[in-house]
Amino acid sequence: MQKLQLTQEWDKVFPKSDKVDHKKVTFTNHFGITLAADQYTPKNYEGKLPALAVAGPFGAVKEQSSGLYAQTMAEKGYLTIAFDPSFTGESGGDVRDVFSLGINTEDYQAAVDYLSNLDNVDPVKIGIIGICGWGGISLNAAAIDPRIKATAAVTMYDMPRVGSWGYFDKGTAEERYASKKQIAEQRTKEYGKRDLAKAGGCYDYPAPDDQPDFVKQYSAYYKTKRGYHKRSVNSNEGWVLQSQPAWMNTKILVHPEDLKNAVLVVHGEKAHSRYMGEDTFKKLKGDNKELVIVPGATYTDLYDGGDHNYIPFDKIDSFFKKNLG
């Protein structure tokens, strides 16, 4: 197992709860990458606990939204982990700030491996939560791994869809090919180098007036005290440019019929990516699938609750209690 340098001080963007115990943990996926996670356990629990693994948003770290979700759900009686995906945050991976649908799907499965082998976890009561792009990845993992008994995809992105066709499907095949050509040429130039070009993170706050509202929302979260973190991809220089085509020739949920266990899709009423969640929901089979639209909420309101505590934690809790038993 790769030895990681883990920060021991509390450096989250949300306050520490006195209702749970917290510690840093590590586990390794089947690609040999060691992942770092924050583990939250309810105080004064009895018996074996249901467990949840949380990741996202895409380009964030466990000190941001996923940690808030994990800590809050631990307050409600679950043992939870919020993990940094491979190649990001405090997790391992020799190259930094790159992504892969296959490896990132495996990250969830490795988290389930870890949780299943804890003495204080009931291994038949494990669920996952994915935020933003990790909402789509969480569904991909759940379709592969029947051990995942319930999945909540919150303010989700379908990353292959937006990576292939742009926002609102307004891109073209010609534009996609031009992007692939440009990045392929970049790879040739960067052969053998360690310092790889980045695609760029979020705009400094405030974002330019001519940018769409959702871009301004990203800036208001990732580039301010509200959500900035020094290890966050989105808060800093963004993803490695070479990794961008990874979304351009793939799909999530190729076999949605295989996702037999329970799913909750949660979106804000005003979220720009709402169409991705609703279209994905339409593909799901069975009467154990739910779609919740949060009135008045924007996309990033479901990162941290925004200014009106928009995250429906009680609904998420009741969903997992019903489906994990």
With H, G, I as helix, E, B as strand and everything else as coil, classify residue 158.
Answer: coil
Q: d(Cα 161, Cα 183) in Å, to the nearest integer?
A: 19
Q: Using the predicted structure, report yes or no on whether residue 279 has a pLDDT greater than 80.
A: yes
Q: Using the predicted structure, report yes or no on whether residue 228 has a pLDDT greater than 80.
A: yes
Q: d(Cα 69, Cα 57) in Å, to the nearest integer?
A: 11
What is the reported pLDDT for 3? 85
Query: Which residue is associated with the tokens 């990741």?
Result: 55
What is the reported pLDDT for 125? 98
268-296: average pLDDT: 98
Q: d(Cα 33, Cα 47) in Å, to the nearest integer?
A: 31
> Kind of pairing, strands 121-131 and 150-154?
parallel
As a whole number, the mean pLDDT across the chain is: 97
CATH class of 20-158+252-324: alpha beta
Q: Using the predicted structure, report yes or no on whether residue 2 has a pLDDT greater than 80.
A: no
What is the reported pLDDT for 217? 98
pLDDT digits (tens, 9 = 90+) for 71-91: 999 999 999 999 999 999 999
Confidence bin at 49 (pLDDT 50/70/90): very high
Q: Nearest to residue 165, comparing CAs of 49, 273, 95, 247?
A: 247
Q: Nearest to residue 217, comparing CAs of 225, 207, 209?
A: 207
Instruction: Mention every residue, 6+ apart, whose C-beta is less than 8 A from residue 172.
Output: none
276-297: average pLDDT: 98
Percent of the chain clearing pLDDT 70 (strictly above): 100
Query: What DSSP character marks residue 133?
Result: H
pLDDT digits (tens, 9 = 90+) for 136-194: 999 999 999 999 999 999 999 999 999 999 999 999 999 999 999 999 999 999 999 98
Amino acid type, 245? P
What is the reported pLDDT for 1? 72
**Sign of the four-CA dihedral 145, 84, 253, 282:** positive
What is the reported pLDDT for 204? 97
102-127: average pLDDT: 98
210-233: average pLDDT: 98
